[in-house]
Amino acid sequence: MTQLSPNFTLEEAITSPTALRNGIENIPSVEQLAHMRTSAAGMEQVRAILGKPIHVNSWLRVEALEKILTAKDFQRWCAQHGHNPDSDWPLYFVRKGHPKGYAVDFICPEFGTPAEVAKKIAASALKFDQLIMEGTWVHVSFDPQMRQQVMMATFKDGVPTYSNAEQPQ
């Protein structure tokens, strides 16, 4: 096993049932691997904040995998922003954290619900780019922008809509 950090492995970061079903090699480039190590350091801090093991749902997503997993969201984004779904994928894709290796979707059931996990992280001193409570999981990104965005996703027909969440006082 290749360790990204003391508690996170490359194998768990690239595992994807969707990639496996679709014959997609979800293997990082050198640049993505460097970003994944940055994210793993952030996830070590998340683990320390929660005091419990983290269960990774999704981490790295190469472009072919991202296209499958975000197809509905991409269509909604195009409709909302007047983009052409036949040609504007690059404009959408460049905004995504998973393909860069910066974003991690996870749960920590030993700590609590995804809402409780997100609330605890948001109230901490952890530096992150985005923290999103996505219903049954938490999304956190360690993109260097470090915007400290705290959001909530609501889903309708499998399509997420994002809104700003209140930050804990």
Give the other-Cβ count within 10 Å of 127's Cβ. 10
Name which of 152, 154, 157, 168 is nearest 115 in CA terms: 152
pLDDT for the residue numbered 166? 61
Give the other-Cβ count within 10 Å of 89's Cβ. 17
Domains and CATH numbers, the chain: 3-164 (3.30.1380.10)
Name which of 53, 61, 58, 69 is nearest 27 in CA terms: 61
pLDDT for the residue numbered 168? 45
Q: Are 116 and 168 in contact (CB under 8 A)?
A: no
State pLDDT tens for residues 117-145. 999 999 999 999 999 998 899 999 999 99
Give the other-Cβ count within 10 Å of 113's Cβ. 14
Block means of pLDDT (10 residues each) for the chain, 169 residues, are 95 96 97 98 98 97 96 91 95 94 98 96 97 94 96 80 66
The amino acid sitting at 30 is V
